[in-house]
């Protein structure tokens, strides 16, 4: 059986690890598959993506993923830069490309936010905080002080990435639905605008300029630091602390439909979580800052068809 490989993005370090290796504790929740701990300073873990993939949202084992050169793309805290490393990078290996400089439009008084990827279009995406409130799109092979290929921004977009606190990166994570050609952007989140407890704006994947969203998930969508999209079932998946929230992505208009909520308590509660999907095993993987733990849950509801999104009892 194939084992999912993971990259845990910590403060200043990429830790490449095999998929969850520790068996779930006896008598634990029936959905709990495994737990894996990392010997890192408490609070360092901040993100989770499949390793050796250009994008977290590329389905595991897909032809697209296998055909792409295997890059790891991250933001550089406090330097307003995007770094690209080769997939097999190890130790103190230098990045193969750096996007940085005044032409990039990357701004902020603290760390940059969460980088996102559109693998089919070979595009790297990054949100900028207020007053810019823009989504920047760079070519995958961009290097140096280069201007973005395009931007989404302006009053009609309703994008509010929040004000950035000094030393912290609070702009939201974003995700692409490659099947329905959508770009999902959280907005109006908790203090700092990082996408927790706010709406999610749904744009055309190739949108540019001051454009209105195609649809809005009214929420509130609480997503920790990240969320994921499962395109085949048109679902947004987020972990809100004690439950996995499965939201249906609307085709148009404002959706007030509530999510399917599945109890998935963490080994240790954490407001800062990362998330990845393993469709092959119908599992959702959560990384937490508190306790530096990766927890794997069996959630076939995300991957099976048909999928409903009414609240579970």
Provide, rounded to the nearest whole percent, the portion of the chain with pLDDT above 90: 28
Higher pLDDT among residues 290 and 212, named by residue: 212
- How much is the mean pLDDT over the chain? 74
What integer is the mean pLDDT of 231-246? 89
User: What are the pLDDT digits (tens) for 50-67?
Assistant: 332 343 333 333 334 444
Provide, rounded to the nearest whole percent, the portion of the chain with pLDDT above 70: 64
Where is mean pLDDT largest: 14-18, 25-29, 49-53, 170-174?
A: 170-174
User: What are the pLDDT digits (tens) for 168-217?
Assistant: 556 778 899 999 999 999 886 544 344 445 889 999 999 999 999 999 99
Sheet strands (E) in 128-248: 135-139, 150-152, 175-177, 182-187, 198-204, 215-221, 228-230, 235-239, 243-248
Q: How far is Cα of residue 182 from the mean position of the Cα atoms in its chain?
A: 15
Q: Which pLDDT band, with edges at 50, 70 and 90, does 291 fall under?
A: low
What is the per-residue pLDDT for 307?
Answer: 44
What is the per-residue pLDDT for 12?
Answer: 43
Q: 292, 40 in Cβ contact below 8 A? A: yes
What is the per-residue pLDDT for 113?
Answer: 63
SS (H, E, C) 27-94: CCCCCEEEEEECCCCCCCCCEEEECCCCCCCCCCCCHHHHHCCCEEEEEECCCCEEEEEECCCCCCCC
Residue 22 DSSP symbol: S
- What's the rounded Cα separation, in Å, for the pair 84 and 93? 11
What is the per-residue pLDDT for 290?
Answer: 67
What is the per-residue pLDDT for 23?
Answer: 47
Query: Which stretch of 108-112, 149-153, 191-195, 257-261 has the lowest confidence by average pLDDT?
Result: 191-195
What is the per-residue pLDDT for 147?
Answer: 96
CATH, domain range 6-303: 2.120.10
User: What are the pLDDT digits (tens) for 265-282?
Assistant: 876 666 667 788 888 888
What is the per-residue pLDDT for 36?
Answer: 55
Q: 104, 136 in Cβ contact below 8 A? A: yes
User: What are the pLDDT digits (tens) for 131-174?
Assistant: 788 899 999 899 999 999 999 999 999 988 877 665 455 677 88
Q: Say if pTM beats, i.e. exceeds, 0.95.
A: no
Residue 230 has pLDDT above 90, yes or no: yes
């Amino acid at each position: 059986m194939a084992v999912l490989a993971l990259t845990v993005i910590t403060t200043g370090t990429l830790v490449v690890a095999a998929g969850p290796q520790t068996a779930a504790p006896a008598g634990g929740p029936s959905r709990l598959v495994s737990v894996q701990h990392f010997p890192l300073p408490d609070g360092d873990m901040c993100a989770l993506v499949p390793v050796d993939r250009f994008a977290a949202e590329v389905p595991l084992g897909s032809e697209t993923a296998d055909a792409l050169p295997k890059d790891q793309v991250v933001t550089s805290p406090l330097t307003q830069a995007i770094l690209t490393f080769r997939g097999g990078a190890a130790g103190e290996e230098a990045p193969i490309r750096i996007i940085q400089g005044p032409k990039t439009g990357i701004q902020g008084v603290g760390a940059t936010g969460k980088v996102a990827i559109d693998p089919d279009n070979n595009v790297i995406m990054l949100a900028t905080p207020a007053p810019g409130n823009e989504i920047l799109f760079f070519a995958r092979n961009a290097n140096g002080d280069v201007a973005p290929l395009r931007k989404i921004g302006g009053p009609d977009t309703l994008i509010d990435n929040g004000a950035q606190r000094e030393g912290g990166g609070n702009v939201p994570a974003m995700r692409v639905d490659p099947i329905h050609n959508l770009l999902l952007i959280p907005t109006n989140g908790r203090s700092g605008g990082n996408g927790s407890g706010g709406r999610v704006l749904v744009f055309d994947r190739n949108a540019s300029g001051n454009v209105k969203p195609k649809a809005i998930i009214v929420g509130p969508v609480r997503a920790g630091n990240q969320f994921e999209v499962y395109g085949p079932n048109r679902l947004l998946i987020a972990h809100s602390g004690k439950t996995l929230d499965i939201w249906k992505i609307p085709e148009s208009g404002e959706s007030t439909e509530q999510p399917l909520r599945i109890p998935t308590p963490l080994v240790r509660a954490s407001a800062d979580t990362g998330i990845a999907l393993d469709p092959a095993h119908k599992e959702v993987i959560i990384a937490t800052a508190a306790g530096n733990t990766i927890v794997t849950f069996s959630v076939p509801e995300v991957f099976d068809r048909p999928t409903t999104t009414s609240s579970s009892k």
